[in-house]
Amino acid sequence: MAIVTVPVLSRSERNAMAMQAAGTERPATIHDIAAMCGVAASTVSRALSTPDRVNIRTRARIEAAAAQLNYTPNSQAKALSSGRTGAVGVLVPDITNPFYFDLIRGTQLQLKAAGYTQLLVDTEESDEVEASSMEQLRKSADGIIVTASRLSDEALLAAAAKTPIVTINRDVAGVPAVVIDTPSATSQALDHLISLGHTQIAYMAGPLTSQSSTLRWTALAAAAEERGVDVRRLGPFAPKTQSGAAAADAAVHSGVTACIAFNDLIAIGMLQRLRERGIRVPEDMSVVGCDDIFGADFCNPPLTTMASPIEQAGRVAVSMLLAQLNPLAGGGSRSRSLMPTHLTVRGSTGPAPAAS
């Protein structure tokens, strides 16, 4: 029986063969550069990451070779040895919600500017998915931005101990957070409605698990008491336009003349339903939304809403996270950032109808 000797191939030989076979030019590695320059791979690594550590002449040679081979470091390998992945996870409860479009845009822009990659994850409004995603991201991302978390305070705190985290619209002591100050805008909305003569007002609540909704209601109820007007809470309603129909019906049935919705989606859904039912906005019913999402300005009528600097919130969250990741840059990173909001009055609010 003949013994077939299989020649042992060096890395570059194999690479060359692979290229020949597949026609697919394999990305260059530091070894390729090292071979080309006649130095060790470690020197190449240093030349590119710690330039001072390498003679300026060899560095120049290496840089030239790198450019010629069109070298780009393999991020996987980098991540494995250095421990940092250059990626940041962004968790949103529902990509469908336009609110998060602006947020995602903000994080995306800021992350890209800092050379990071964005890993977008839809947690489907589920705390379980959220928890498992975070666990997963712990290894594949350097940090996580969690929006409108559905997790318990304890769970969030525990997670924050393991991974750098910044939350958005979820305030837990000990976890850096960006909070959009809609509760204060809620009072403005109430004053706006009161100035229009409304005294019977409803708050169309969001999900029970939403801290934002709770905070808004608390602020609203306090302000209402203070001002001596009647504000009742209806719902909860899912933050989708479809829920707007139920919300509209509930509002009409309750006899109020104005309502403040948890968010613009519900408000826009209400507008549609009210129109269907022949109830005029704002003549018969005033509607205030929250967030000023895409569409709030061109719906019918245009929506009076509490404008949130959503995209900016995303950017700030990224900045806070990056400050946490690279403490060197100084500038003591604040652990909490409150984003101001303001009321944008459009066509969906008007004077209260004469008492019937």
Partner DNA sequence: CAAATGATGACAACCGATTGCCAAATGTTG
Partner DNA sequence: CAACATTTGGCAATCGGTTGTCATCATTTG
Which residues of the shown chain bind DNA in the complex (CB under 7 A)?
A: 6, 11, 14, 26-27, 29-31, 38-43, 45-46, 48-50, 52-59, 71-74, 77-78, 80-82
85 binds its own copies (CB under 8 A): yes
Q: Is 140 exposed, middle or buried (0-12, 13-18, 19+ CB in 10 A)?
A: exposed
Sole binder of its own copies in the list 74, 195, 218, 242 (CB under 8 A): 74
60 binds its own copies (CB under 8 A): no
Q: In the complex with DNA, which residue's Cβ is closer, 54 or 189? A: 54
Under the phi-then-psi rule, with left for phi > 0, alpha for psi from -120 to 50, and beta for the rest, what region is 280?
beta
Q: Which pairing describes strands 143-147 and 87-92: parallel, antiparallel, or unpaired?
A: parallel
Q: In the complex with its own copies, which residue's Cβ is closer, 58 or 324? A: 324
- Kindly report the length of the chain: 356
Sole binder of its own copies in the list 72, 126, 195, 254 (CB under 8 A): 72
The span from the CA of 285 to the CA of 349, in Å, is 8
Closest to 91 in 3D by CA, of 59, 134, 52, 56: 134
Q: Minimum distance from CB of 58 to DNA (Å)?
A: 3
Q: What would the x/- binding string for its own copies be over residues 131 to 170, using CB under 8 A?
A: ----xx-xxx--------------------xx--------
Partner in contact with 39, chosen from its own copies, DNA, none, beta carbon below 5 to 8 Å by kind:
DNA
Q: Minimum distance from CB of 257 to its own copies (Å)?
A: 22
Partner in contact with 82, chosen from its own copies, DNA, none, beta carbon below 5 to 8 Å by kind:
DNA
Buried b (16+ CB within 10 A) or exposed e, 310-337: bbbbbbbbbbbbbbbbeeeeeeebeeeb
80 binds its own copies (CB under 8 A): yes
Q: In the complex with DNA, which residue's Cβ is closer, 50 or 356? A: 50
Cis? peptide before 309, omega within 30° of 0 = no
Q: Which two tokens stand for residue 59?
A: 């560095």
Residues 252-271 that bind its own copies (CB under 8 A): 268, 271
The span from the CA of 255 to the CA of 330, in Å, is 56
Q: What would the x/- binding string for its own copies be over residues 289 to 328, using CB under 8 A?
A: -----xx-xxxxx---------------------------
Partner in contact with 216, chosen from its own copies, DNA, none, beta carbon below 5 to 8 Å by kind:
none
Q: From the centroid of its chain, how far is CA 199?
A: 36
Q: Minimum distance from CB of 329 to DNA (Å)?
A: 18
Partner in contact with 98, chosen from DNA, its own copies, none, beta carbon below 5 to 8 Å by kind:
its own copies
Q: In the complex with its own copies, which residue's Cβ is closer, 71 or 262? A: 71
Closest to 255 in 3D by CA, of 279, 272, 289, 225: 279
- Ordered DSSP codes for 192-248: HHHHTT--EEEEE---TT-HHHHHHHHHHHHHHHHHT-EEEEE----SSTTHHHHHH
Q: Minimum distance from CB of 330 to DNA (Å)?
A: 21
- Ordered DSSP codes for 34-69: HHHHTS-HHHHHHHHH-GGGS-HHHHHHHHHHHHHH
Footprint of its own copies on this chain (CB under 8 A)?
A: 23-25, 27, 72, 74-77, 79-80, 85, 95-96, 98, 101, 104-105, 108-109, 112, 117-122, 135-136, 138-140, 161-162, 241, 268, 271-272, 294-295, 297-301
